[in-house]
Amino acid sequence: MLRDGTFVAVKVLSANSRQGVEEFLTELNAIADIKHENLVTLVGCCAEGSHRILVYNYLENNSLQQTLLGSMRDSIQFNWEARVKIAIGVARGLAFLHEEIRPHIIHRDIKASNILLDKDLTPKIADFGLARLLPPNATHVSTRVAGTLGYLAPEYAIRGQVTKKADIYGFGVLLLEIVCGRCNTNTKLNREDQFLLEKTWALYEQEHLHEIIDVDIDDELDVEEACKFLKIALLCTQDAMGRRPHMSTVLRMLTGCRNVSMQKITRPAMITDFAELMSSSTPKEKKTGSNTLTSFTTTEMTDPSSSSDTHTQSSM
């Protein structure tokens, strides 16, 4: 709690960060004035010595990872209306970052632990301030991969190519989690059920998509709308970037302003498609023509089913 009685959330960044003070402050200055209902508000920061600290507005209901998918699941009843509100709110926030501000911002790590909830369950996207700013006229940026297992688009995981469409892939996986009420990866389950996207696609092909919807949703569940959301998630996770819709289009589909094109839904990019390729690559980077094939160590990716939430909030 600050001296004026305001509660804030404090995030201490890794002391191993190689980011200098000037780079850190320049990046924060670029997003300090960005305000949107579905983005967290940066209250302040600290850059002293090796310390890198961010101060955000405090959000009472923690992260979606903890309250819907994790240890605090029983603390909140996520009825269908609440899930629709969260899905649409996240889409609005991402559309704002991608299309409404200059320069555009690519988040790079859209996942449940980066979606925080206020007292009314309004979603707020966190950590967009640590994302890549997309230079004018650039279609993508290439960078060291630093994402979360299960949310990574194939072009990002394999080549380090970051585009808005990589964020949209992550949103698609998140949308599945919101509707299904389970983490995208759970290695404790049987092989055919471990990966949520693979299971959803299998049920879509069998025309049994309704079977994957969270059974804990109360009687107000709109099965038709829930299945529509799952189809939108499949569109967002298409293998080819060009087949994934822009975020503003996703938002229109979620709100019913645009129909979901069933013809465009093909097999999505599955985690098992490229996981073996990544793990079998022993050098850090293998040059293949003009592309860079990036391999991973266990410290570079996070498995959401086995790691703790890194965005737990605390008062100051």
* CA 143 – CA 100 distance, rounded (Å): 23
Report the relative pairing of strands 51-57 and 42-48 from DSSP bridges: antiparallel
DSSP 51-97: EEEEEEE--TT-BHHHHTSSTTGGGS---HHHHHHHHHHHHHHHHII
The set of catalytic residues is: 109
* CA 107 – CA 84 distance, rounded (Å): 22
* CA 46 – CA 273 distance, rounded (Å): 41
* Phi-psi map region of 301: left, alpha, beta (phi>0 left; psi -120 to 50 alpha): beta
* CA 62 – CA 71 distance, rounded (Å): 11
The answer to whether the beta carbons of residues 195 and 184 sit under 8 Å apart is yes
The answer to whether the beta carbons of residues 232 and 254 sit under 8 Å apart is yes
Alpha helices (H) in the chain, listed in sequence order: 21-31, 64-67, 80-95, 154-159, 164-180, 196-205, 223-236, 247-254, 271-280
